[in-house]
Structure 1
Amino acid sequence: MNVATAPTQHHRHSPAPPRRRLTAILTAAIVAVLLLLITPLPRGFQGEPTGDPTLLGELEGALGSAHWQHIAAAKVDGDQVTVAGAGADEHTKFEIGSITKTFTAALYADAVERGELSEDTRLGEIWPSLHGDVAEVTLSSIAMQRSGLPAQEPALSFGDGVASIMANYLHTDPYQGDANDLVSSLKGVDVGEQKPEYSNFGFAVLGQAVAEAAGMDYGELVRQRITEPLGMTDTSVPSSPEGLSHGYTASGLPAGPWTLGGSAPAGAIRSTAHDLSLWLRATMNGTAPGAEAVEPREEFDESDRIGWAWMTTTNRTPDLTWHNGGTGGYASYLGFDPKSEQGIIVLSDSANWVDGAADLISTDDASQSYAQPSEQSSEQAGARP
């Protein structure tokens, strides 16, 4: 039949039979119920309250509703430390994620003070097998997050890349290579512009470089030079997933523990609110090994300056020196103001950011300006984003 001469008729679609419509509605309802069953709803902190109820209430107000599980916090005010938690206390272990970087930066500062390294030490001096641009990258540029190294460790093979991607979907540790693999991955790296850019890979390299210069592995270095001298008995770099229950994703699903392998210096440390209060106070008063790492050295973005790892805000009252962290199933925040000697630590076993805890010791200047329109015309106040 010639398509061009085919008859064209307009047909009115008849409504689906009632039985078919009912089946479709029931199917959609069942699917919706199943999705609700496997995806938890946002909720408050879980478990029995511990410690100071006032601090816990302030924390709930600052963090709001999310897929929370268990949480532990410590608030520092000079020599006084107040703790609180839900389903956890100040001695419960959590993954602290990138707060680990503050330990790595302190180890680097301490190694410079010991004469083992300098601010100008290059990667090629640590590992002479490196050549080209990557060999010229300095350790201080890595510590200030402006080295030009990529954000994440390059995969050594196609299989490694696939495994890392699958780990993200399966909520397991995506970092499987050891320290030797990390160094090997440097050989194929393209170094970019040396501008402020956060790099987990860079800090993993920095930590392994400091360990290489000291002649010991990273975990032992943390123990000998930081945790043992400060009495942080519940803080360590794990060598296996054992010893810690799973955390939870931001949507409330179980997530396996991370050890990070050779990338441990970027985020593997496990600690407690109690131990991190020791770390915060010693860093704040300058008695911690490598405490000079906190001093701001360069601009990082519009609102932050960076020292070695540590950020210092410029748009809060008072400004805060801080770092946060997150793994597949945990989140953390540590911040302090050395002038007022106040600090806050929050550890959570869900991957929802807890940075809002900063409001317990400092005020965001933008929020404060918006909340006080008397200092400007009402028209200007209403135009603020």
Structure 2
Amino acid sequence: MTAGLDGDQQLVTRLGELLGPRHPVAAAAVVTPAGMRVASRGTDADADADCDAHSDAASDSAPAPVSASDFEIGSIAKAVTGLLYADALARGEITPDTSLGELLPLADAPAARVTLRSLSTHRSGLPRLPKAARPWRRTLALWRYGTNPYGENLEQLLDQARGVALGTPRSRYSNLGFELLGHALARAATTTYPELVQQRIASPLQLDCFYVPKTADELRPEALNGRSRRGRPRQPWTGEALGPAGGIRASITSMARLTAAILDGSAPGIAALDPVAPLGAGARIGAAWITVQVKGRPITWHNGGTGGFRSWLGLDRSTGTGVVILSATAASVDRQGFTLLTERRPGQLPI
């Protein structure tokens, strides 16, 4: 599906109606069996065409069109890690009962006993973040100064994990868990997480702007600057440890191609989307991917949020339809994503 990758005027109009002035730099994609439609505001929708070309980044003073723009996709990275988990199972590199200690140097720490299956469904007993990371202090610094609350390298992450006590294995969202899961999968494949993403997802699916920067120095010149809900600049969220849980950046066209590949079954690890456990009231979870009933239809989705970005990816697998919304402002786009995906009756396609 390669048609419609330029800005689609009907979708541009709908994107403006849904997001309003609060999201001056944003992009959306609608994928159907008929093809893809991509639209943007304040940036270039046809991002992948010049993904490796150098251009001036957006200024800090006002949103401006940027060539080959990429966004932080936040926790949609967990959904990508879920695909990699299911793919590793299919390859025989791991089993659901493989423990972290079999792949990562955690010695006799409690976290070493955690299974990859429990990590993939947020049922490991690990906390959202380790206390050693001082999450409240970092969150305060983010609010006040816009600083990146992450940034650990892999060895620092492992050192933090060695000191974590396990809670009751129950449904509990864990950034730490998905960080460890992704790096364990990379070890099983004898590579690094950024290379695993490149080798098994970005390259095979031709996602030209889809990468995992370990430091701010690794950002492309076209990387967008994120802003708070009040429009204040935010540092990019980079860090080797963060990658599998929230450290991927992507353009809207790469996200559209990923969505199309998931829907047509050509992406690796599609079994990750199949729900296997409850997640809160009325929802079920596969390997990171969440399924809920909306207007009588099962919708499979994940969202993401960083200091300066919000994202949403949703799929109606029964109609082969998917929607992605990316914004360079830290205000939720979940409601708009669900609306864009489900605002037509079953059997009709959005936009």
Q: TM class by shorter-chain length?
A: 0.7 to 0.9
Q: State the shift of 1:69 in Å.
A: 2.3
Q: Does 1:190 align with 2:165?
A: yes
Q: Aligned letter for 1:60? A: G
Which whole-Å deviations, capped at 9, do the CAs of 1:232-266 have from their partners, x for residues lacking one? Answer: 11111113323224210011111111113312110
Q: 1:364 to 1:55 in 2, by over 3 A?
A: closer
Matched with 1:173 is 148
Which whole-Å deviations, capped at 9, do the CAs of 1:185-209 have from their partners, x for residues lacking one? Answer: 1111111111111111110010011
Instruction: Give 2:79's match in structure 1, choosing from 102, 112, 117.
Output: 102
User: In 2, distance between residues paired with 1:128 and 1:349?
Assistant: 37
Q: Does 1:81 align with 2:81?
A: no
Matched with 1:357 is 337
SS in 2 for 1:231: coil
Q: How does 1:264-283 map to 2 (within 5 A)?
A: 264-283=243-262
Q: State the shift of 1:62 in Å.
A: 2.9
Matched with 2:127 is 150
Q: Which of the two has greater helix per residue?
A: 1
User: In 1, distance between residues paired with 2:116 and 2:86?
Assistant: 10
Q: Aligned letter for 1:235? A: F
Instruction: Give 1:115's match in structure 2, choosing from 73, 82, 92.
Output: 92
User: In 2, distance between residues paired with 1:343 and 1:129?
Assistant: 39
Contact 1:99 1:267 (8 Å CA) reproduced: yes
Q: State the shift of 1:135 in Å.
A: 2.2
Contact 1:317 1:364 (8 Å CA) reproduced: no
Matched with 1:377 is none
Q: How does 1:337-356 map to 2 (within 5 A)?
A: 337-355=316-334, 356=336
SS in 2 for 1:210: helix
Instruction: Give 2:186's match in structure 1, choosing from 196, 200, 211.
Output: 211
Matched with 1:233 is 208
Q: Does 1:59 align with 2:20?
A: no
Which whole-Å deviations, capped at 9, do the CAs of 1:1-20 have from their partners, x for residues lacking one? Answer: xxxxxxxxxxxxxxxxxxxx
Matched with 2:269 is 290
Stretches of 4+ moved more than 4 A in 1?
A: 160-165
Q: Output the aligned Cα RMSD.
A: 2.1
TM-score by length of 1: 0.77
Q: Unaligned 5+ residue runs, structure 1? A: 1-49, 366-385
User: In 2, distance between residues paired with 1:195 and 1:186?
Assistant: 18
* Number of equivalent positions: 313
Matched with 2:59 is none
User: In 2, distance between residues paired with 1:306 and 1:316?
Assistant: 19
Which structure has the greater CA radius of gyration? 1
User: In 1, distance between residues paired with 2:149 and 2:261?
Assistant: 33
Which whole-Å deviations, capped at 9, do the CAs of 1:316-344 have from their partners, x for residues lacking one? Answer: 34221111111111111111111111111
SS in 2 for 1:172: coil
User: In 2, distance between residues paired with 1:60 and 1:301?
Assistant: 32
User: In 2, distance between residues paired with 1:97 and 1:333?
Assistant: 9
Q: Aligned letter for 1:51? A: G
Q: State the shift of 1:89 in Å.
A: 2.9
Q: 1:166 to 1:291 in 2, by over 3 A?
A: same
Q: Aligned letter for 1:270? A: R
Contact 2:71 2:224 (8 Å CA) reproduced: no
User: In 2, distance between residues paired with 1:123 and 1:168?
Assistant: 33
User: In 2, distance between residues paired with 1:63 and 1:273?
Assistant: 16
Q: State the shift of 1:168 in Å.
A: 4.3
Q: 1:128 to 1:329 in 2, by over 3 A?
A: closer
Q: Unaligned 5+ residue runs, structure 2? A: 1-5, 48-68, 346-351
TM-score by length of 2: 0.84
Matched with 1:335 is 314
Q: State the shift of 1:115 in Å.
A: 1.2
User: In 1, distance between residues paired with 2:34 and 2:245?
Assistant: 30
Identical aligned pairs, as a percentage?
38
Q: 1:114 to 1:275 in 2, by over 3 A?
A: same
Q: State the shift of 1:102 in Å.
A: 1.4
Which whole-Å deviations, capped at 9, do the CAs of 1:151-182 have from their partners, x for residues lacking one? Answer: 013326x7x97556424421121112111111
